[in-house]
Structure 1
Amino acid sequence: MSTPAPRRRRADAERSIARIVAAARSCLGQDPDATTDSIAEAAGVGRMTLYGHFPTRAALVEAALTEALRAGDETLDSVDLSGDAREALTRLLASSWALVAESAALLAAAQGVLPAGRVRELHASAVDRVEELVHRGRREGVFRTDLPVSWLVSVVHYVLHGAAEEHRAGRVGTADVAGLVTATVRSILDTPSPGAEEPSGSLPCGTEAG
């Protein structure tokens, strides 16, 4: 029995979408200003086909970023986060910075067309992964408790993105990045040694350190 035409069309559409998203990841990963025409050409489809699946540039960029983050989550899910929270964080950072570097231009493209809230929402799983490690480290007594968790997690991600930019600009070599990221993050998260000076100033009103 032959396959019904609607099923063939659906399969063709899915393959076309996959090619477009892959091309968008590649093109936008190299140039955040890559045009939809160049993406369509790289995907081997016409403009009408591309716009049939992604009516706006924002929709296409979001699909590309979503796919990049999904692939990144698969990689990070394989990282061993058991045992000591500091060692687990070191392993996570070693894998995370490379993924951030790979998607830096794609993220820039997303920030240009998507609301900031949507970009944060798409990164939720990455944030949750670091947040859980920070909470665990605090319970183990190895990470500081005098600053809000949300602030510490944000700083970790700023360090990762900063490292990716430094590497992209050629100011930091590939072999050095993981060590620099780990040393910087550990200096921020580790419990201050006895007698260390407390942060100057107080937390904003309504902000808790826990």
Structure 2
Amino acid sequence: MVVSAPRAPRRDAQANRDGILSAARSALAEDPNASIDAIARAAGLSRRALYGHFDDRTALISEVIAIGTQRFNAIAEHPVDDDAALALAQLASRLWHEAAHVRVAASMALDDAHVAETAAALAPVRAVLATIVERGQASGVLRTDLGGVTLARLIESSARMVVRDDLGGAQSASLAVRSVLGVAGLSWREADALLAAHPELEKEDAE
């Protein structure tokens, strides 16, 4: 018996799906509790048409979150410096800037209500962080009074809070970098010196 490969979605169907996702991001940016009806109206579709693409609101939200995690995981492919403190600052800066591009998806993915379900999806970024922490502790650059797993979790929680709550206003990129460096064991003076040497890390429009 020959099993046919699933057909790719029709172009108009894909366009509708993309439109729904875009409308969902816009609606959720205005109201995190936006209903499926509100999202369908924003997309210019009926509720029934929306359900032709997503089984329910949970499935739609999961897809929005997946878009955010894909962008985060792309960061894991970027090289970081051999110096653990600078590598950690680079990772924090890149995460913040990716989150700025997908603010709604990032906030939802990093929110306490969803972070457990996205933990596996964020495994590549977590692996990079774990490697940086291990290298930093071995070289004495990062604090060693905490176990590596615990330290990595604390750094992650700090970065998550800054990104999720958009703390710092116009200085959010700087705060994201400084917060993880502080949790990792660097003093504010050491963080100042590192950022003075690498000002690109706290620019709001950095690549």
TM-score (norm 2): 0.70
**2:169 aligned residue:** 173
**2:148 aligned residue:** 149
Q: CA deviation at 1:61?
A: 0.3
**2:73 aligned residue:** 73
**1:182 aligned residue:** 177
CA separation of 1:109 and 1:115: change in aligned 2, threshold 3 A: closer
Count of residues in correspondence between the two structures: 182
Q: CA deviation at 1:149?
A: 2.3
In structure 1, the gaps of 5 or more residues are 1-5, 193-210
Q: CA deviation at 1:101?
A: 5.8
CA separation of 1:109 and 1:31: change in aligned 2, threshold 3 A: farther
> In percent, how many aligned pairs have the same letter?
29
Greater displacement, 35-44 / 53-62: 35-44
CA separation of 1:19 and 1:77: change in aligned 2, threshold 3 A: farther
In structure 2, the gaps of 5 or more residues are 1-5, 188-207
TM-score (norm 1): 0.69
Kindly name which structure, 1 or 2, has the bigger radius of gyration based on alpha carbons: 1
Q: Give 1:2-151 correspondences, 5 Å limit.
A: 10-74=10-74, 76-77=75-76, 79-100=78-99, 106=105, 117-151=116-150
Q: CA deviation at 1:64?
A: 0.6
The separation in 2 between residues aligned to 1:191 and 1:7, in whole angstroms, is 54
CA separation of 1:30 and 1:148: change in aligned 2, threshold 3 A: farther
The separation in 1 between residues aligned to 2:129 and 2:151, in whole angstroms, is 9
The separation in 2 between residues aligned to 1:119 and 1:78, in whole angstroms, is 19
The separation in 1 between residues aligned to 2:16 and 2:59, in whole angstroms, is 15
| Amino acid in structure 2 at the alignment position of 1:181 | A
Note the alpha carbon deviations across 1:11-37, whole angstroms, 9 max, x for none. Answer: 332222222222223322342111212
The separation in 2 between residues aligned to 1:119 and 1:7, in whole angstroms, is 28
CA contact under 8 A between 2:27 and 2:34: conserved in structure 1?
A: yes
CA contact under 8 A between 1:32 and 1:108: conserved in structure 2?
A: no
| Amino acid in structure 1 at the alignment position of 2:17 | I
Q: CA deviation at 1:159?
A: 1.4
CA contact under 8 A between 1:80 and 1:91: conserved in structure 2?
A: no
CA contact under 8 A between 1:31 and 1:105: conserved in structure 2?
A: no
For the residue of structure 2 that corresponds to 1:121, the secondary structure is coil
CA contact under 8 A between 1:72 and 1:99: conserved in structure 2?
A: yes
Q: CA deviation at 1:54?
A: 0.9
